[in-house]
Chains A and B, each alone.
Chain A
Amino acid sequence: MADIRVQAGPFDLGREMDRFEAAVSGAGAVVSFTGLVRDEGGRLEAMEIEHYPGMTERAVAAIAAEAERRWRLAGCLVVHRHGRLGPGERIMMVATAAPHRADAFAAAEFLMDYLKSRAPFWKKEHGASGKAWVAARDADEDALRRW
Chain B
Amino acid sequence: MIDVLYFAWVRERIGVPKERVETEAPTVAALVEELRAREERYAMAFADLAAIRVAVDQELAGFDAPLAGAREVAFFPPMTGG
Name B82's contact: one of A115, A124, A135 (CB within 8 Å). A115
Chain B residues within an 8 Å CB radius of A55: 55, 58-59, 74
| Known contacts A50-B8, A118-B60; A92 and B76 CB within 8 A of each other | no
Cβ of B66 < 8 Å from any Cβ of A? no
B-side contacts of A59, CB under 8 Å: 58, 60
Report A47-87 CB contacts with B as 1/0, cut-off 8 Å.
00010101100110000000000000000000010000000
Separation of A141 and B80 alpha carbons in the complex (Å): 11
List of A residues within 8 angstroms of B81 by Cβ? 80, 92, 115-121
How many chain B residues touch A (CB < 8 A): the figure is: 17
Known: A120-B76, A122-B76. A92 touches B82 (CB 8 A): yes
In the complex with contacts A52-B58, A55-B58, A35-B79 CB distance below 8 A: no
- A134 proximity list for chain B (CB < 8 A): 80
Look across to chain B and name the residue whose beta carbon is closest to the beta carbon of A120: B79
Contact B9 A120 (CB under 8 A): no
Q: Say if the beta carbon of A136 comes within 8 Å of chain B.
A: yes
Please encode chain A, from 94 to 113, with 1 for each CB lying within 8 Å of some chain B CB and 0 for all others. 00000000000000000010
A118–B8 alpha-carbon span in the complex (Å): 15
Chain A residues near B (Cβ < 8 Å) = 35, 50, 52, 54-55, 58-59, 80, 91-92, 112, 115-124, 133-136, 140-141
- B residues near A, CB below 8 A? 5, 7-9, 11, 55, 58-60, 74, 76-82
